[in-house]
Amino acid sequence: MATRIDVTRRLDQARAAIPPDWRAVLEREISADPRGKLGLAERMGVSRVYVSRVATGHIPPEQVSPRFIARLYESLEAYICPHTGQTIAPSLCRQTAARTYESLTFAEVDQWRACQSCRHNRLAALAGPSESSQES
């Protein structure tokens, strides 16, 4: 189990690795998204309220989670999901594709099946071509 000192040390290391211009990137992405803070929040997989509080300064920069900033930069790599047609962050894409069939609700099955053969799914790419495509 990690001690409080270990956790604090790791948090300090994460904060030291944060790019100094992350606030400018946040503002630029909010301005560039047609839906503003809501659109960016959806791409990042966080709440709109949190994005708004960070952007307006209600959460001081030194208290912003390094994970939030990492998600901000990951959202820059977002792409359009071929199944839903919506912009999706790579981490959310991986989470959806990696779920087990047993953990899905009925409404999620079609999305999950599409993920299993999607070009963005790294797990499917590592598995190589399927048996049915080898027989052809």
Provide the token pair at 131: 């048996």
Does residue 3 surpass a pLDDT of 90? no
Q: Which domains does the chain have, with CATH numbers?
A: 1-76 (1.10.260), 79-136 (no CATH)
Strand (E) or helix (H) holding 80: strand 79-80
**Is the Cβ–Cβ distance between 29 and 51 less than 8 Å?**
no
Q: Structure tokens of 37? A: 């803070």
What predicted TM-score, i.e. pTM, was given to this entire model? 0.55
pLDDT in tens, 75-100: 887 778 888 888 777 777 888 888 89
pLDDT at 25 over 60: yes
DSSP E strand boundaries for 77-121:
79-80, 87-88
The proportion of the chain whose per-residue pLDDT surpasses 70, expressed as a percent, equals: 79
Mean pLDDT for the stretch of residues 108-126: 80
